[in-house]
Structure 1
Amino acid sequence: MDVVSSIRPPLPDLVIHQILQILPTKADVRMSFLSKQWDGVWCSTPVLDFDEGDDPGKYDNDHIDLNKILEHRKFINVVEKWLEFCEQEQQKQVFLNKFRLRMMRYVPGDYGSIDKCLSYVFERNVKELDISLRISRLFWGFSWQIQFGFDYCISRTTLANAKTLTVLKLEYVRIKNHRLTKKKRRKTPRLLPNLKTMYLKNVHFDELAPFYLILECPSIQDLSLTSCHCENSEFDVSSSSLKSLEIEHCDSRIIYVDEAKNLESFTVSSNSSLLEKITLIECSNLKYINVHAEHLKRLTVSGHDCLKGTINTPNLVTFGFEGFSKSKILVKAPNLKVTRVFLSELRDRDVLGFNGSFRHFSTLRDFLENIGFSKRIVLYVRNYKALLFPEDFRKNFSSPLYGVKHLVVVMPNSQKEVSDIPEFRHALGWMAPSTNQLSLGEENHQQFLAHCSLVGL
């Protein structure tokens, strides 16, 4: 007779289910040893959390620890016991809200068990999936896949039935390129149609894998990449649904974000000497940007009319911005050589403000002062009146581009004649009083983008 039944009558099944839903999975497994009535019931709970639970410092060494190997085997046995229950017909009707599997001593021999786990959780319509497979250091260097601790590979086949996922967290895995031809893409359903949030940490991407993975997520809103690596050293993101993008300490040379019309927040933090270039194009709703990148050389940003942000890039050489002067961007880049700014001010009422106030000019002056640290500044304006600072304003406010040596103002071809207006020349002279070279040019928006491309912005 088991321990529990010898003490009191068995509890109703409903009560047991409620108790097990409150407890973590590890405790549920222990409870199953108390009574046959409890045995296997934990397998039916809507939240499963298999956590090997070790501090990396306790196992991350080169010598073989038999105790750790045995502990890992016991952990795998618990996972495989759950897989056995999943084979039962009644278990196939149980839905999963969340499934978490965290291994700290993963070995290549566990590959088959992981495949089965993912197959079963997708069959049970899992909503949140959290997988971390840190490989045992004893296997590092056995092949090129696992020389840096990556072995388990996420392919199209892996995610073929992941239709119900809304949250995906992956750590210490490798992701293949999910690319399809245009013809197949039109006929093939997306892999992750309902995914809203994706966190990737210590993930190794095949070449172009980030770009094609995002294409499989038409509903994604939040994407976080931490300490990830891509074979071609380029993170290319294009998504019309994405709202938040965070990239921290990733091994990349280029970050390129294009046609992310709903992107609101963009954050990059990197000390990597590889990161040279960040480009955000067609991000018309971008409201917040925070870039801290020690070795970044080139940055191009297009954003919302009220974009706010901080750019702390001590080695930045070129900076391009497209947007409105209402944006509040603080640029800390002491080595900046060239700044290109396309100002989108269009209408006279925006320039003059209501009741003829200096609101626009005060905003523009502050904007130019925050970005005006480079030796050469190129301003693209749609309307010359945007820079026609009134005389009374110039008398009461300091110059925003005091240290600029070369100022270039570029306007549409139709406004060429304004270069001869004395008041306009006086306004430009006040803006950059230290300049030894003042130029007026003719270009359009497409030429601005082409220039950014040519100079590597």
Structure 2
Amino acid sequence: MEESKQRIQFVYRRKRFGRDGAADMDMGIGVDASDRISRLPDHVLHYILSYLPIGAVVRFSVLSKTWHRISTSFPVSDFSEDGLRLSKRREIQDWKNKFINFVQDSLLAQHHHNTRSRKFRLSMDLDSYDPQLTSRADHLLELAAKCGVSEFDLNFQNISHYFLPQALLSAEEITVLRLNGDYKLSLPHHAINWPSLRVLSLMNVCVDEAILQNLISGCPLIEKLALVYCYGVKSIRISGCIKLKEVEVNEGDSVLERIEIHVPSLQTFCYTTGLVKSCFHIDMTGCRNLEVLKLKFYSITEEIGKVFQDLIAQFPALTVLALNCYATSVIRIKISNPQLEKLQLWSSALSKVTITSPSLHSFKHFIHGFPSAFSLDHSSLQKATISVHKGALYSYDFLQLREYLGNYNQIKRLTLRINFVGIRFIPEILNNISIPALPDIKHLKLKICPCTSASGSLASLRDYRDIVDGLLWVCHPETVLLVSGWNYENEFIQILCEKLMQGGENQHCCTSSHIKCWRHDLKDIRIEHLQQNAEAKAFTCGTLLESLPNLGRGEKIRFIFNW
């Protein structure tokens, strides 16, 4: 079998690069190799062809009648021109004709041999010197619909303008349709009939209010609707869809001004905007059963932020909320939902955050600066993930981190990810601030992620030493979990071990300070290498340093502290 695959790959190279090029790649295969391969059973040849790109299968289809039959009966569901590199006009025309002929023959052969696929993905460039190319693309879609395809994924690039053929617009068997139109594909204003459609995703497609109404009325059983970077629509109104469960709207640079959704069955709503809006109206009072809400806005005003905040409070059944606020003027937010279980908050400018959700058990907070006022009711919160993206961290930043982490006391598991350019922690600067380390953070999973500075350099060993001193000044966790693999992860583990080996009370590390460092509070340390079979291998700092170069990526190292 392996030899047969090599023979087919040789024939493919011979066809693609020419006889002389194939001779230069001597594989010890005679000229009659293709004849012997052709005598293999079809199912074996199909298996071998599955290892080749679709472009290679197309080229095989023109070798001979035998290979045409084998290639076109191969059950392909993904027809893509992606990665094609042609520059000459004749080459482009010749390839497109071969490609379309292959797709057509493949659909017919699959239908004849009863090996047809319910999925059909077509990705091609419609910009061609052939004036009949659009009509040929129409024929492929009509043929796929006649062959019983129920899931269409269409990606048309570089098109001047294109409408889907009527045969596809009235195909009653379609259940999934995904369209990417490169901003030049349009849907008609007349009736659309997709009575079986469950999923509709439109990307870069011209859509207006009339088209949306046709879609809604023509898809009575639709369950998921996605409008991504669609243009031409100012208002979205959805009602009467008794099966609709999920709606995604990513307006990109469109001029969307209003969203109205009155669908009691709706469970998930995702909305993304990248524009500064002076006014915006959203009405979802008819979606009282909404469970998942994801809002992402890059640049909005305080007034528009209030619109979304009022929206959050409308859903008593809400269990999952993801709120991403990037470069905005919004500085305060209050979240209060009794049923909320999972919350993801990404804030760059928020200074006041109030969260009152007694059922919350999972919280992820991505921050660029520590909020000056942060209130979290975590009566049920079991785990939290904090991702700090702040560039350089200095001594007073660790003080703010200590005050911020004070809101997470009694939480069993805390994941802390620090993305930084540089770290400088000088405890002498904080001599006049007598604040004990947080004792109630139990299990800390630490991820240290250095970023490339403007000069192109990564973190130094001093950065890692200052992170260790700063974090253990902030809190005294029972366990710290680290993961080996990348150079910076291993370097951090190395620095931590070296710091722990320096000792405690007998060291003269704090003689110039009236506040003792973390070493004087540490009584004992144990290290475990967590195995995949749930066993733990004991290490000392010395043996871990010896074994560190041999640890694979993703190995878990747990430090157990006794304070």
What range describes the TM-score normalised by the shorter chain of this pair? 0.5 to 0.7
State the SS of the aligned residue for 2:270: strand
Partner of residue 158 from structure 2, selected from 135, 144, 162: 135
Residues 1:295 and 2:300 are matched in the alignment:
yes
- Matched with 2:267 is 264
Higher RCO by CA contacts (8 Å cutoff, separation 6 or greater): 1
Q: 1:53 aligns with which of 82, 86, 93?
A: 82
- Correspondence list, 1:228-307, <5 A: 228-229=230-231, 231-238=232-239, 239-250=241-252, 251-273=254-276, 276-293=280-297, 294-295=299-300, 297=304, 298-299=307-308, 301=311, 302-307=314-319
CA separation of 1:6 and 1:16: change in aligned 2, threshold 3 A = closer
- Tell me the alpha carbon deviations over residues 86-105 of structure 1, each in whole angstroms, 9 at most, x when there is no partner: 67897496633222221245
Is the CA contact 1:237–1:258 (under 8 Å) kept in the aligned structure 2? yes
Check conservation: 1:177, 1:213, Cα contact below 8 A.
no
Shift in CA distance, 4/305, structure 1 to aligned 2, threshold 3 Å:
same
Cα distance in 2 between the residues matched to 1:166 and 1:73: 32
Change (3 A) 1:129 1:22: farther
The answer (yes or no) to whether the contact 1:253–1:277 under 8 Å persists in 2 is no
The alignment-based identity, stated in percent, is 21
Aligned counterparts of 2:346 and 2:110: Cα–Cα separation in 1? 61
Contact 1:259 1:281 in 2 (8 A): yes
Q: TM-score, normalised by structure 1?
A: 0.55
Provide the residue aligned with 1:164 in structure 2: 174
| 2:148 paired residue number | 125
RMSD: 4.2
SS of 2:120 mapped into structure 1:
strand
Instruction: Work out the CA distance in 2 between the residues paired with 1:52 and 1:97.
Output: 20
Aligned to 2:455: none
Q: 1:276·1:295 contact (CA, 8 Å) conserved in 2?
A: no
Q: Measured at CA, do residues 254 and 155 of structure 1 come closer, stay the same or move farther in structure 2, by a change above 3 Å?
A: farther
Using the alignment, how far apart are the partners of 1:102 and 1:10 within structure 2? 33
Distance apart, 1:131 and its partner CA: 1.1
Cα distance in 2 for residues equivalent to 1:127 and 1:23 = 25
Q: What displacement does 1:11 show?
A: 1.6
Unaligned stretches of 5+ residues in structure 2? 1-30, 351-375, 381-563
SS at match of 2:68: coil
Contact 1:177-1:206 within 8 A present in 2 as well:
no
Displacement of 1:126 after TM fit? Answer: 0.7
The Cα of 1:156 is off from its aligned counterpart by 5.0
Cα separation, partners in 2 of 1:89 and 1:167, compared to 1, 3 Å: closer
Alpha-carbon distance change, 191 to 40 in structure 1, aligned in 2, over 3 angstroms: farther
Distance 1:88 1:102, change over 3 A: closer
For residue 287 of structure 1, report the CA deviation from its aligned partner.
Answer: 1.0
Alpha-carbon distance in 1 for matches of 2:284, 2:109: 51
Rg larger in 1 or in 2? Answer: 2
Alpha-carbon separation, structure 1, partners of 2:205 and 2:60: 35
**Letter of the aligned partner of 1:154 in structure 2?**
L
Which residue pairs with 1:96 in the alignment? 117
**Count of aligned positions:** 307
Q: List structure 1 segments (4+ residues) > 6 angstroms apart after TM superposition.
A: 87-90, 328-335
Q: Which residue of 2 aligns with 1:309?
A: 321
What is the match of residue 219 of structure 1?
221
Deviation at 1:212, TM superposition (A): 2.3
Aligned in 2, Cα 1:105/1:285: closer, same or farther, shift over 3 Å? same
- Aligned residue for 2:40? 11
CA distance in 2 between partners of 1:178 and 1:92 (Å): 38
Distance 2:37 2:323 in 1: 66
Q: Which residue of 2 aligns with 1:431?
A: none
SS at match of 1:191: coil
Q: 1:110 to 1:223 in 2, by over 3 A?
A: same
The CA distance in 2 between the partners of 1:8 and 1:309, in whole Å, is: 57
Q: Measure, in 2, the Cα distance between the counterparts of 1:165 and 1:110.
A: 27
Deviates more, 1:201-210 or 1:19-28: 19-28
Which string of whole-angstrom CA distances, capped at 9 and with x for unpartnered residues, describes residues 205-228 of structure 1?
A: 144212321332233222222211
CA deviation after TM superposition for structure 1 residue 45, in Å: 3.6
The range that moved more, 68-77 or 215-224, is: 68-77
For 2:40, give the aligned amino acid. L
Q: 2-side partners of 1:51 and 1:89: how far apart? A: 18
CA–CA distance in structure 2, aligned partners of residues 243 and 67 of structure 1? 48
Query: What 5-or-longer segments of structure 1 have no aligned partner?
Result: 59-64, 137-145, 181-189, 336-361, 367-457
Report Cα offsets for 1:96-145 as digits up to 9, x if no partner.
Answer: 32222212453465210111011000001112211111116xxxxxxxxx
SS of the residue aligned with 2:121? strand
Alpha-carbon contact 1:249-1:270 (below 8 Å) kept: yes
Answer whether contact 1:85 1:91 (CA < 8 A) is retained.
no
Report the equivalent of 1:370: none
C-alpha displacement of 1:325: 4.7
- Residues 155 and 180 in structure 2, CA contact (< 8 A), matched pair in contact too: yes
On the 8 A contact 2:61/2:72 being kept in 1, the answer is no
Aligned amino acid, residue 180 of structure 2:
L
- Alpha-carbon distance between aligned partners in 2 of 1:268 and 1:117, rounded to the nearest angstrom: 34
The structural deviation recorded for 1:27 is 2.8
Distance 1:47 1:210, change over 3 A: farther
SS in 2 for 1:29: helix
Q: Match for 1:99: what amino acid?
A: F
Query: Paired residue for 1:201, among 178, 200, 203?
Result: 203
Q: Distance in 2 between matches of 1:50 and 1:9?
A: 24
Structure 2 partner of 1:175: 186
Aligned-partner Cα distance in 1 for 2:276–2:32: 62
In the alignment, structure 1 residue 79 sits paired with structure 2 residue 100: yes
Write the deviation string for residues 232-287 of structure 1: whole angstroms up to 9, x where unpaired.
42233332222222222431423424232222111112112467233223112211
For residues 198 and 285 of structure 1, the distance between their equivalents in structure 2, rounded to whole angstroms, comes to 22
The Cα of 1:304 is off from its aligned counterpart by 4.0
> Is the 1:223–1:244 contact (alpha carbons within 8 Å) kept by the matching residues of 2?
yes
Checking the alignment, whether the CA contact within 8 Å between 1:25 and 1:48 is kept in structure 2 is no
Q: C-alpha offsets along residues 379-404 of structure 1, whole Å, 9 cap, x if unaligned?
A: xxxxxxxxxxxxxxxxxxxxxxxxxx
Change (3 A) 1:35 1:84: closer
Instruction: Please give the alpha-carbon distance, in whole angstroms, between the structure 1 residues aligned to 2:80 and 2:110.
Output: 26
